[in-house]
Structure 1
Amino acid sequence: MKRHFCVRSALAFILFLAAPHAALPRAGTPNLEMLKTDLLAVTAHPDDESMMAATMARYADEGKVVALVTCTRGEGGGNGTGKEGGAALGIVREAELRKCLGILGVRYLYFLNQPDWAYTESVQATLSQWGHEETLRRLVRLVRLLRPEVICTMDPAPVGGQHGHHQAAGRLATEAFEAAADPNRFPELQRDEGISPWRVRKLYWTSFGQTGTMRIATDGLAGGTLASAHPGKRHADIGWEAARQHRSQGFDKFFASLAGASKVQVPARPNSFVLVKSRILINPLSEKDLFDGIAGARLDGPDTQHDVLAAGLAAAPAAAPVTAQLRPRDNVRNYRAWLQANGIERLLTRLPAHISVVQGRADNLLEVEVANHTPQPQTGKLSLRVPAGWTLDRPEETYAVPANSTAIVSFRCAIPADAAVKSHDLIVQLGNATDTGKLDVVPALTIARLMSALPVDGSIQKWETLGIAAVPIRPASGFQGRVASPQECSGRFFTGYDDEGLQILVDVTDDTVVRNIAPDDIKAHWRSTSVEICLDPAPPGENTFSTLKLGIFPQDTTGTVRAARDADGRPGPLEQIKSRIRLASRLTPAGYVVEAHIPWPEIGLSVDRSALAGSRLGFNVILYHAGKKNARIGEDVGKSRLAWSFWPGAPGRPEVWGQAVLR
């Protein structure tokens, strides 16, 4: 037995030596020298590193030490290769990630051990759930131990479709750049754990193809530490092979289909980065490498700085005495305040002001923030220009702003009922200066009171008999994936309300109705054929945790309609949370029908009959279309998503749901 153990140990050691990695530390190397890292990537979940995997492979191939810190184990994600969920899925995804990083030649992996608790696009909710200060402390500990030269992280801008956990990872890494160097931040790490502050040289954000300071080529062939394991492979190829290890998330199928669809070699696209902070004097316009300027650089004194101008971003102009701009929605205001608090105001221009406005409403509120940058009170006039056919309550308004202060000037805008669901320009003019904001139109509907309660039976005829018009969801209303025709996927819905609650019937045309969800696996409805109903009792909400989000499977593997609330204030299968929501479904020759009656208390509205009329709800209906008829039990076969209000990231963004008024 002992001999077998020794043989296995020797074999494991030989395999370890054969694995690709930078030169290993010699025996007796001090801990900090052993851990010394060149490039540290900071992400939110396993698989997020894929956006810069080729860059990680390139630097590992050059012999640099590369490490990854990820905030969670991804236990809240989907699972296309099994039924594991929660902590069990986190173990699966950690194993996938370790395989991935082994291929890339990444030496160190650490977790911040925060929960992957729900899909949300709210960074505020994410950091509240994780504990902002404690999570930052954990990251600062790792930065001081690993002592990286460069940190690369995720872009924290709150653009549509950007997970709140991704935004949080980007914010934490940016804050750690300064906090890790400051002996007054987390002094207990030095006092109790013996870890000294460390000054990271440069910080980059991934730029998702936007204008960045640098594009790292990924078409070079492995010629260093990765050459023996990947002969003749480009760094991009190594990155794709590594990403394929995230099987539970469908990456293996995606890259297999990509290779199968291409008859020629897939182009190796460069990875783009934005230089956010630097402690060395470097011209970002001339950078060719993440490590440019680091060798021999001075980290203190007049030749250093903490912030540099990113290419493609205009230098912040000297502020005019008085400026005016559209006051954005809460998440953009929060992001801008965070940029200013972290000394990177120059990046404010990357994200214009956005607010949501509603089709057909005459009283959409447009607020303009007027800032006085002088020590004297200022007065004057400003005006707005809106798209043709839109009407302002007045074309201009006077302002009076105290010294070194701000004031809000409000307008009301009537928007046509047929205004396109997209971003429209709003021009704010003050004197000769103009500023452009974005008005994001969301759809509107009126919900009629039902004279008597309707049966929840999946019958369309009762709605048509009452003369209630159907609201269409067309193939063009997609926000993820593609739908070729109405026959592939489209829908319509009917809705009304009574004293007890809101009733909705959704009639879906779908050529691939999949029933692969087992009765004990009612969660993550986006994996298969399903409908999601989204209701916000106090629109527009900043996050989904005061809303109702109901995911309905028209049939599980036993043919029964099932549903669960997801990523809202009371998540879980309806039976487990003792919900009083009533459901019905049936298959049709063209697809399926689902119907739900949702009690007012579960939505969060008053049950006082006299208080219901005139109430406004954030409202959306989302169709999830599957792409594989013969799916395995539990397999993630989601192909595309359509919605009534089809803004990017719609499931996690109540601010872009449509609005409904109870008549």
Structure 2
Amino acid sequence: MALALTLAATPGTALAAPAAQAERPRDAVDLDVLFVSAHPDDEASSLATLGQWKEKHGVKAGVVTITRGEGGGNAIGLEEGPPLGIIREREERTAIGRAGVEHLYNLDRVDFWYTASAPLSEQIWGHDETLAQIVRIIRTTRPEIIMTMNPSPTPGNHGNHQQAARFAAEAFHAAADPKAFPEQLHQEGLSLFRPAKFLRTGGTGTSSTGPGCATSFRPTVPTDQVFGIWEGTPSASGKTWAEIEVDARRDYVTQGWANTAAAPTNPANMRCDFYTLVDSRVPYDPTDTSPEAILRGSVLPSVKGGLRRGTELYLTTDRFDVAPGQTIEVTAHVRSAADQTIEVPRVALRAPDGWTVRTVTGVGASVPAGKVRKAVFSVTVPEGADTGVQKLLTATLTTKGQGTGTTDEAVRVVADVRGTLEALPEVGLFRTWAAEGGYGQLDTLIKPVLTVGSGGSREVTVDLRNHGTTPQSGTVTLGLPEGFTADAATKSYTDLAAGATGAVTFTVTNSDDTLPTANEGGVNGDYDLTITTTSSTGSTVETGALEIVPTTEIPHAGHNHAVDGVASEGEYPGEELDFSRIWEGQAVTPADASAKGRIAWTQDALKVFVEVTDDVLGRKVVPQDCKRQRRTDSIEIIVDPKGNSSDTSTVFKAGIFPITDDPANGNPPCWQRDADNRQGPGEQTAPGMQVVSKVSEPYTGYTIEASIPFDVLPDAVDPQRMGFNVLVYDSDTQDLSSQSRLGWSTFTGVRADPYRYGLATLPGYTPPQREPSAPVFPDTAARSVHSPQTLAQSALDGVAPAAVRKLPAGALTVTGVRTVSGGIEVTVSADRRGTAYLYAWDGDTSRGSRSVDLRTDRPVNVLIPVDGGNPARVLAAFEAGNGSGALAQQVIVRR
């Protein structure tokens, strides 16, 4: 923290901004790179890159963190909610400071829980207001490069991460759009800004480790432009950047990262940080594998012979999907730098072999300084071209002695009629978002999958789209793996109009119920299938997969049932279930960690019995810390009443610790609800739920028996299709971190993916009529006006706390700041109603605080009590009462 704020107060060493950036607010920091994330620690895997850029090129980076991570665990204390968020902010400032990152922007959104749902994240955060905050930061700090995470719903990808990345993508365009948040331009004095490049972390493909990792990368999709930065580069401190990144990760002690494994010492084992280019307004060289390749043409000048920094060259197409024989319109956009007229520009467009390119209009005789000119091309895909592939169109701009540059754009060649496996609801929403935003290439991140119960059947729909110009009829053939059958191998469609969509539906059965289920089945859980679609112009093949989830029949409990931690004979007449499959973390032997159990029902409750074998008991939590069960030895019982939830806000999840650190009361178990329809202590959120735990002595494991009343579930159970899962967390340490995660229906990230839970039937059970329960979400986040760390930065870099509208400096006046007996005395006044937040600040820690409500032009004398230290400054924040904005100031204390 001290490092970050000290650096923030010192003039940076970043390269001078190009002339086009001269309109930034006078008191605002000028950033080069902005990383947009959801939580503290999301940026951790990029710190080796940001640190190298800072040290070698003076690149000034900032991080946007939408939440302060209040929904995460706490391995070092009992704080949760806003107090935990303030702690995690300090951890993040310390961590990013190791890479020379001095600017952290928190948006004060609530971190509600781990979810795989971007739509749920957007719903809770609010779309327009959150996007406006990010756009305001970009327009204020004017970074040339925007970086973020993976925006797609790939398995296990946190929904908060997805939505943060989607906000970043939208902000990349919105910051340059005069129609987006015009009040920032007309009322706040900000100017449009056009970031040069937009990248996501990671790359889909393979590479080796070692110094050649950047050049060895082979993308799965050949049109992806992936850049690598090796972590083995030594820093000025003598440590490699891989070591510094590990040091930074260890700063996140609340998340159990204090014991992060040391970085490799052998250079051959050190990896690259990879980044995939999603959008670029400036030319770039995809063959450049240097650590600064991403920076060229935006933060750094282009290589010798390249165009002046600030010159834009990019392509747009009238559509992403194009069929053989069709023609698309391709536009090359050329924007000159603000201080240079481009003389004699020429744009040439190169297409794949066999494609026809015709120039419709040229770019003109010159491009005046700061202006845009366009060249338009007509590109025709040859008849008979391969389909189901992406191809690059490459434009080259040449000038009269002012350099050259290239750029490219991907298009996808599809059949006249394309048949694809139906999308899961959130996958479909993502594809729509990507297509509407001009990011159709991101569709390749997601493999189409559907689940089916072991030995069961389901409808499988193939979605059809006619990309051609005439009506089409044809067939769809489903190529299923062994162990699956369909009601027909081939089905027909007729008279699908040009541009129209349609569908054919098969009933698919897992005919071999001995096939392994969950992630043990197929290849990493996927049983691959093919979809062959024919039309009058030929045929095309698309791929997808089926995933088998385990199934069970839950019987009525035996007449002598009791919740006593013992499965007596006849209590659980159903089959024994195996809960021992690993889904995340370290592999284990059965003696190290394994589990089995049984389920039954009575008219009023679901009965669950779990027996866990375990060799080491992880740290026992105190009763006040009965939350976040994944941190130590525990089990999680999940019920999706209707078996159709799209996210966990409509499911029941109970986390049960078999033992607590409470010797006065016999170290009893405890339970709570987490990341579901209603979270909190079990006694409050699941009244009537019973839990009995028996822990063996000497320790070899534990058994848990639970009775879950049906009326605490979010909805009435569908006895023909109830989603169900049991997950087991195994910890062999005392640092509140689990090493292995096991369960019944097991896939990466499964605890947040209801469609991958197992399926259960309850023969003979008749549910009562009832309305579903509305989800209850956490609604309290740490706020920037309560964070002296944030205020100290805000007072220096020109961005208001929480990136809200910045009030004029005269909105708050702080005078008479002096040391008196008992603390620091100040006089505060405001030109409008609102609240002032005052902190006695020693440069690292608040030594005392006060808040006071202010009325227009009415000074108030305030005594800030001081508890130790020698605070040299008062941090003052003011938040207007009508929500119209905020500001922060630093004032020196007179002795």
Structure-2-length-normalised TM-score: 0.66
Partner of 1:546: 650
Partner of 2:532: 429
1: CA distance between counterparts of 2:688 and 2:497? 54
Local SS of the residue matching 1:35:
coil
1:24–1:79 CA distance, 2 compared to 1 (3 A): farther
1: CA distance between counterparts of 2:393 and 2:333? 20
Give the Å deviation of 1:329.
1.0
Partner of 1:603: 713
Partner of 1:271: 273
Q: How does 1:79-94 map to 2 (within 5 A)?
A: 79-94=74-89
Give the Å deviation of 1:125.
0.4
2: CA distance between counterparts of 1:554 and 1:20? 55
1:570–1:14 CA distance, 2 compared to 1 (3 A): closer
Partner of 2:411: 316
Give the Å deviation of 1:120.
0.4
Amino acid at match of 2:636: E
Partner of 2:426: 331
Partner of 2:13: 22
2: CA distance between counterparts of 1:254 and 1:641? 18
Q: Deviations over 1:491-542 (max 9, x none)?
A: 1011011111211000110112235211122111111111000110122321
Pick the structure with greater CA Rg.
2
1: CA distance between counterparts of 2:629 and 2:441? 41
1:534–1:314 CA distance, 2 compared to 1 (3 A): farther
> Percent identity between the aligned chains?
33
Amino acid at match of 2:559: S
Q: Say if 1:284 and 1:309, in contact at 8 Å, map to a contact too.
A: no
Give the Å deviation of 1:379.
1.8
1:265–1:79 CA distance, 2 compared to 1 (3 A): farther
2: CA distance between counterparts of 1:397 and 1:12? 66
1:282–1:637 CA distance, 2 compared to 1 (3 A): closer
1: CA distance between counterparts of 2:4 and 2:748? 48
Amino acid at match of 1:418: T
2: CA distance between counterparts of 1:466 and 1:524? 29
Partner of 1:592: 702
Q: Please, which of 617, 620, 633 is the counterpart of residue 722 of structure 2?
A: 617
Q: Which has the higher contact order (CA 8 A, sep 6+)?
A: 1
Q: Quick check: 121-130 or 321-330, which moved more?
A: 321-330
Q: Please, which of 312, 315, 319 is the counterpart of residue 299 of structure 1?
A: 312
Q: Does 1:487 align with 2:603?
A: no
1:221–1:12 CA distance, 2 compared to 1 (3 A): closer
Amino acid at match of 2:658: P
Give the Å deviation of 1:75.
1.2
Partner of 2:504: 409
Amino acid at match of 1:569: N
Q: Deviations over 1:291-336 (max 9, x none)?
A: 123332423773369999699x994333322111111211211111
Q: Say if 2:641 and 2:723, in contact at 8 Å, map to a contact too.
A: yes
2: CA distance between counterparts of 1:625 and 1:491? 11
Partner of 1:473: 579
Amino acid at match of 2:274: S
Amino acid at match of 1:392: A
How large is the RMSD of aligned CA atoms in angstroms?
Answer: 2.9
Q: Deviations over 1:166-198 (max 9, x none)?
A: 111111101100011001000011122111110
Q: Please, which of 94, 101, 115 is the counterpart of residue 96 of structure 2?
A: 101
Q: Deviations over 1:332-367 (max 9, x none)?
A: 111111110110112222322111222110x22211
Q: Please, which of 253, 257, 268 is the counterpart of residue 251 of structure 1?
A: 257
Q: From the two aligned structures, give the one with the greater strand fraction.
A: 2
1:545–1:17 CA distance, 2 compared to 1 (3 A): closer
2: CA distance between counterparts of 1:549 and 1:386? 34
Partner of 2:479: 385
Give the Å deviation of 1:220.
2.3
Q: Quick check: 503-512 or 414-423, which moved more?
A: 414-423
Partner of 1:6: none
Q: Does 1:576 align with 2:684?
A: yes
Amino acid at match of 1:406: T
1: CA distance between counterparts of 2:683 and 2:557? 27
1:580–1:17 CA distance, 2 compared to 1 (3 A): closer
Q: Say if 2:29 and 2:141, in contact at 8 Å, map to a contact too.
A: yes
1: CA distance between counterparts of 2:194 and 2:443? 25
1: CA distance between counterparts of 2:4 and 2:668? 53
2: CA distance between counterparts of 1:221 and 1:584? 55
Amino acid at match of 2:45: M
Q: Does 1:237 align with 2:237?
A: no
Give the Å deviation of 1:435.
0.5
Local SS of the residue matching 1:178:
helix
Q: Say if 1:453 and 1:498, in contact at 8 Å, map to a contact too.
A: no
Local SS of the residue matching 1:170:
helix
Q: Say if 1:582 and 1:596, in contact at 8 Å, map to a contact too.
A: yes
1:14–1:481 CA distance, 2 compared to 1 (3 A): closer
Give the Å deviation of 1:74.
0.9
Give the Å deviation of 1:156.
1.0
Q: Say if 1:456 and 1:583, in contact at 8 Å, map to a contact too.
A: yes
Give the Å deviation of 1:33.
7.3
2: CA distance between counterparts of 1:251 and 1:145? 34
Give the Å deviation of 1:566.
0.5
Q: Does 1:177 align with 2:273?
A: no
Amino acid at match of 1:617: M
Give the Å deviation of 1:16.
5.3
1: CA distance between counterparts of 2:88 and 2:648? 26
1: CA distance between counterparts of 2:585 and 2:550? 21
Q: Does 1:374 align with 2:468?
A: yes
Q: From the two aligned structures, give the one with the greater helix fraction.
A: 1
Partner of 2:328: none
1: CA distance between counterparts of 2:748 and 2:566? 32
1:382–1:461 CA distance, 2 compared to 1 (3 A): same
1: CA distance between counterparts of 2:435 and 2:497? 22
Give unmatched runs, 5+ long, in structure 2.
18-22, 206-218, 220-224, 302-307, 314-331, 336-373, 376-389, 395-407, 518-524, 764-895
Q: Please, which of 41, 47, 55 is the counterpart of residue 47 of structure 1?
A: 41
Q: Quick check: 238-247 or 410-419, which moved more?
A: 238-247
2: CA distance between counterparts of 1:72 and 1:531? 28
Q: Say if 1:21 and 1:106, in contact at 8 Å, map to a contact too.
A: no
1:171–1:40 CA distance, 2 compared to 1 (3 A): same
Structure-1-length-normalised TM-score: 0.89
Amino acid at match of 1:554: P
Partner of 1:36: 30
Local SS of the residue matching 1:384:
strand
Give unmatched runs, 5+ long, in structure 1.
1-10
Q: How many residues align?
A: 626
